[in-house]
Structure 1
Amino acid sequence: MKNEMTQTPLLQIDALEKRFALDHGFLETVKLRKGRIRREKREVHAVNGLTLDIKRGEALCIVGESGCGKSTVARLVAGLLNPSNGSITYDGKRIDTLTRREMLPYRRKMQMIFQNPYASLNPRMTIEQALTEPVKHHHPDLSAQGVRDKVVEVMRSVGVDPAWAPRYPHEFSGGQRQRIAIARALTVDPEFIIADEPISALDVSIQAQVLNLMLEAQVERGLTYLFITHDLSVVQHFGTRVAVLYLGTLCELSDTATLFANPKHPYTRALLSAVPKLDDQAPNHIRLRGEIPTPIDMPQGCPFRSRCTYANDRCAVERPVPAPQPDGSLVACHAVEEDRIETV
């Protein structure tokens, strides 16, 4: 039964795109090119044709360097941004076209934990007020005592003393604030958590505590995670599967063990080679050279072409699409497809 639930897609992302306009208004779009006046609209291509599915009970980690579109994907799934193209389906229902009122039932099922615990809590609200507000909003039938009991139960579950409830956020450390932010997400009994780099702003000594807390909550509450991070050591500890993004496109999608044992895409290999290892047999660090493309002027062909040592003429004109591999992973790379890269 557990394996059957694990294989059921809870969230499906299909051909998702998000573009942000850089020029607003008519005058900003008017440009002088070679003595002629033209109208041009510049856009940032943050997410480009991303297709993913997230199974019930798993923790799908999205990794990549800064600016690759990780946080944009999180905000699109959470409904904080509207996609430019593509679709997002939750439990068989398309949600990216819903109105704010129609989206309300899904707000209870889907909760988000933000990166900065110092900014995600209202400084004018006590911890009790911050935790009580979502319970009252999503459970209007609960009595005042029922709301208090729910808040106390959730605070204890994340290791926060209920006696701290009258205090304000500035009276807590970063780790304590993030525990409170996790408690706020859990107060409405969600089934899906979107965590956007939830530990990157914390001290290293606190990061493991918060990660373990999230893992415990996953087991106890049957949670499904979309976990955004740039820290591959965290992915190895936390993730069930890993999606590697580059310039808003999917490079590789694999279960965690397979990805770390046998990375296939050149960009994935470069990322993993940068992880410190206490092993003399570890591969040498791969230095990426070449020009870093800009999401404003997306390159033709493979987005990673300008930094890839395996690129050829085909990579310059044809964008690779994710293709299944014998070990079950998906890789978007012409060199892998043509067996020009040696794999294990």
Structure 2
Amino acid sequence: MSSTAHAHALDQVHEAAAPLLEIRGLEKHFSLSGDFLEQLKFKGGRIVREQRHVHAINGVDLDIQRGEALCVVGESGCGKSTVARTVMGLLHPSAGEIRYDGRRIDDLSHQALMPYRKRMQMIFQNPYASLNPRMTIQQTLEEPIRLHHPGWSVQRIKEQVAEVMTSVGIAADWGGRYGHEFSGGQRQRIAIARALAVDPEFIVADEPISALDVSIQAQVLNLLMEAQRERDLTYLFITHDLAVVEHFGTRVAVMYLGTVCEVAATATLFATPRHPYTQALLSAIPRLEDDRPQPIRLTGEVPTPVNLPSGCVFHGRCPYAEPRCGREVPTLRPQADGSRVACHAVEEGRL
């Protein structure tokens, strides 16, 4: 092989390995202080300005490879949905960068972001709230196609809607009906069809099955997996259900209080969790085994995202915490098994 051909082959390998989505140092803070006048307080005989923020996400670093399903897990209030909405441009980040296919997108104008809206779609948690009650199902599915393909004929739009309805198991006669006429599972199928209508390559699914009956959660999950196989989709999947993660995820990112504790391949994470919080989280899964170890019981209270603890955000509840943990924020470091863990105890070999 010539040197030019060899260099070209290396470039192709590099391109194949480049993440579809890159998140670097992402932060999102929400103000609790109101406008400027509300921030002014009279203290000690003088006027001072007080600002308080909810630190929803703090320095999140994540990569999502083409064709994979990255699941983000953690308890309520850990910042999972904030990450999802910030990636989609529904929230503007306080700091950090988001790159899609090598291009930074978090600083783009609404107009400049439009081509990416077609490539990136979102499925929301609550299908009762995410469908417009004044629009028929046909209108709901046609709307994004008309927006992103203004030159398409009426006939072509109807053919696209029919194709996407068939792909998610929606009957053709649903088109003339309204959202309130359907069950939760049917509405979520419609919401999935709406996301797929413009042939995206990346989908953010924000707890898409948590509002559904357990009996139909598996149906919707299988539908999402089938769509991934048929359309070569990439998912950022937000959930708190670890059974879903084990079934659906390629890789898992575990979040606690706005920070990423651990990122690993699904099989690796469930077999050998490294971070103390991940270990506690996985030990809480009910298992039908006689010799299973006792669940890890964490002590202390979950800190508030308004007043974040110094150092590692988990150190107040961690059984392995040492003084360094209260001073220094740990960074995600690569491990021998391919995972990345943000923990001083793991770094020092104590865990």
- Once the two structures are superposed, the pairs formed by residues 323-334 of structure 1 within 5 Å of their partners are 323-334=333-344
- In 2, Cα distance between equivalents of 1:320 and 1:71: 23
- In 1, Cα distance between equivalents of 2:314 and 2:257: 8
**Is residue 2:65 matched to residue 1:55?**
yes
Describe the SS at the equivalent of 1:102.
helix
The answer as to whether partners of 1:6 and 1:55 remain within 8 angstroms in 2 is: no
- Once the two structures are superposed, the pairs formed by residues 245-260 of structure 1 within 5 Å of their partners are 245-260=255-270
User: What is the aligned counterpart of 1:228 among 238, 262, 282?
Assistant: 238
Matched with 1:214 is 224
- In 2, Cα distance between equivalents of 1:6 and 1:121: 37
Matched with 1:148 is 158
Amino acid aligned to 1:288 = L
Matched with 2:251 is 241
33 and 332 in structure 1: CA distance in 2 versus 1, 3 angstrom threshold: farther
Larger mean CA deviation between 26-35 and 287-296 belongs to 26-35
Describe the SS at the equivalent of 1:176.
helix
Amino acid aligned to 2:110 = R
User: What is the aligned counterpart of 1:101 among 111, 121, 124?
Assistant: 111
CA offset digits 1:43-76 (Å, max 9, x no partner): 1111100011000000000000000000000000
**Is residue 2:31 matched to residue 1:18?**
no
Matched with 1:314 is 324
**Is residue 2:241 matched to residue 1:265?**
no
**Is residue 2:201 matched to residue 1:191?**
yes
- In 2, Cα distance between equivalents of 1:13 and 1:117: 28
User: What is the aligned counterpart of 1:297 among 279, 304, 307?
Assistant: 307
- Once the two structures are superposed, the pairs formed by residues 109-120 of structure 1 within 5 Å of their partners are 109-120=119-130
Larger mean CA deviation between 27-36 and 78-87 belongs to 27-36
Matched with 1:130 is 140
What's the CA shift for 1:247?
Answer: 0.8
Amino acid aligned to 1:229 = T
**Is residue 2:296 matched to residue 1:286?**
yes
Matched with 1:39 is 49
What's the CA shift for 1:273?
Answer: 0.9
The answer as to whether partners of 1:251 and 1:322 remain within 8 angstroms in 2 is: yes
User: What is the aligned counterpart of 1:71 among 76, 81, 84?
Assistant: 81
Amino acid aligned to 1:308 = C
TM superposition outliers: structure 1 runs of 4+ over 4 Å: 3-6, 32-37
32 and 338 in structure 1: CA distance in 2 versus 1, 3 angstrom threshold: farther
User: What is the aligned counterpart of 1:173 among 178, 183, 186?
Assistant: 183
- In 2, Cα distance between equivalents of 1:43 and 1:23: 7
- In 2, Cα distance between equivalents of 1:37 and 1:309: 43
Amino acid aligned to 2:81 = S
- In 1, Cα distance between equivalents of 2:15 and 2:186: 33
What's the CA shift for 1:34?
Answer: 6.0
Unaligned runs of 5+ in 1: none
**Is residue 2:170 matched to residue 1:160?**
yes
- In 2, Cα distance between equivalents of 1:164 and 1:268: 43
CA offset digits 1:101-132 (Å, max 9, x no partner): 00000000000000000000000000000001
Amino acid aligned to 2:21 = L
Describe the SS at the equivalent of 2:48.
strand
Percent identity among equivalent residues? 67
The answer as to whether partners of 1:6 and 1:58 remain within 8 angstroms in 2 is: no
CA offset digits 1:199-224 (Å, max 9, x no partner): 00000010000000000000000000
- In 2, Cα distance between equivalents of 1:6 and 1:213: 27
Describe the SS at the equivalent of 2:306.
coil
27 and 229 in structure 1: CA distance in 2 versus 1, 3 angstrom threshold: same
The answer as to whether partners of 1:5 and 1:57 remain within 8 angstroms in 2 is: no
Unaligned runs of 5+ in 2: 1-8
Root mean square deviation, CA, Å: 1.7
Amino acid aligned to 2:309 = P
Amino acid aligned to 2:238 = I
Larger mean CA deviation between 27-36 and 264-273 belongs to 27-36
The alignment of Structure 1 onto Structure 2 pairs a total of residues equal to 341
CA offset digits 1:217-274 (Å, max 9, x no partner): 0000000000000000000000000000111111000000000000010100111011
Amino acid aligned to 1:108 = K
Matched with 1:92 is 102
The two structures have a TM-score, normalised by structure 1, of: 0.96
